[in-house]
């Protein structure tokens, strides 16, 4: 029997949570010893072969490497994971829209293919080392050489290039306790999703736009793969009720129904009890 409180279709990695819980249980039941990264890859393979979604390793690894009060900084080239403290004065608010989240209709796969095509293009035009992924491309290089790509492929490629840079900047800002600076990067990330990767939607954009007008919200972006689901807000927890009320009021005025707002704190990853 599986029990859980992650809303289905909310874009909050319910499938990864189920996969990691199952892997841990079966490993215990049959006396199998696997490290966390290997377990995460087993869950990823299930997504690829059973669900038909060519996802990365983010959701599964985050489900296992989580730590109370910290974020997971992931390097997927080397499969290295470390925790970055978030700090005690903030929390996240997940705002679930009523736009159903789905990644298996081809939209996610087409964007992944565009990024792979762009990486091959940059490998051919950049005069440096071995370029294998878009993480090897800087924003300046994208600006310089984007003309050799189709407009759509260029737009898709700039999003992960920017995201890689934002992750490094964000970790450095958290080390200094600069929560507002980190929040600004969250807003930048959402704008990149909205304008370049085009994996947002009207409902998610409305939530982020409403959040920008609330001083106690430091940052906001769509959660996970987008295409519906939820937004993640970095908030002052003391103002959570007021934030929820304002977001709900604006969302209901625009769409006629209410989102679901939940305050959450980072916790330890999946483990046996």
SS3 labels along the chain = CCCCCCCCCCCCCHHHHHHHHHHHHHHHHHCCCCCHHHHHHHHHHHHHHHHCCCCCCHHHHHHHHCECCEEEEEECCCCEEEEEECCCCCEEEEEECCCCCCCCCCHHHHHHHHHHHHHHHHHHHCCCCCCCCHHHCCHHHHHHHHHHCCHHHHHHHHHHHHHHHHHHHHHHHHHCCCHHHHHHHHHHHHHHHHHHHCCCCHHHHHHHHHHHCCCCEEEEEECCCCCCCEEEEEECHHHHHHHHHHHHHHHHHHHCCCCEEEEECCCCCCCCC
Can you say whether the dihedral through the CA atoms of 106, 112, 115, 119 is positive or negative?
A: negative
178 is catalytic: no
Euclidean distance between CA atoms 156 and 118, whole angstroms: 9
CB-based contact 252:258 (threshold 8 Å): yes
Structure tokens at 74: 């992931």
CB-based contact 57:46 (threshold 8 Å): no
Structure tokens at 222: 């769509």
Structure tokens at 88: 């005690």
**What residues are labeled active site?**
59
């Amino acid at each position: 029997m599986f029990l859980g409180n992650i809303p289905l279709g909310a874009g909050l990695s319910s499938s990864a949570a189920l996969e990691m819980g199952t892997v841990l249980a079966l490993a215990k039941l049959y006396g199998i010893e696997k490290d966390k990264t290997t377990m995460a890859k087993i869950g990823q393979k299930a997504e690829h072969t059973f669900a038909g979604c060519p996802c990365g390793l983010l959701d599964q690894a985050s489900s296992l490497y989580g730590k109370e009060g910290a974020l997971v900084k992931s390097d997927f080239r080397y499969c290295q994971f470390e925790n970055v403290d978030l700090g005690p004065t903030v929390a996240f608010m997940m705002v679930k829209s009523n736009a159903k989240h789905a990644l298996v209709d081809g939209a996610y796969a087409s964007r992944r293919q565009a990024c792979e095509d762009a990486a091959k293009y940059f490998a051919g035009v950049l005069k440096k080392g071995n370029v294998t992924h878009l993480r090897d491309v800087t924003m300046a290089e994208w600006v310089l050489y984007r003309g050799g790509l189709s407009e759509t492929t260029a737009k898709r490629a700039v999003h992960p290039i920017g995201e890689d840079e934002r992750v490094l900047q964000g970790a450095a800002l958290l080390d200094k306790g600069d929560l507002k600076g980190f929040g600004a990067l969250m807003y930048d990330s959402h704008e990149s999703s909205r304008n370049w990767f085009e994996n947002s939607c009207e409902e998610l954009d409305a939530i982020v736009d409403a959040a920008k007008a609330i001083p106690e919200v430091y940052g906001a972006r769509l959660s996970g793969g987008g295409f519906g689901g939820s937004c993640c807000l970095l908030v002052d927890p003391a103002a959570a009720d007021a934030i929820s009320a304002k977001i709900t009021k604006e969302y209901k005025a625009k769409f006629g129904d209410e989102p679901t707002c939940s305050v959450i704190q980072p916790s330890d990853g999946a483990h046996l009890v």
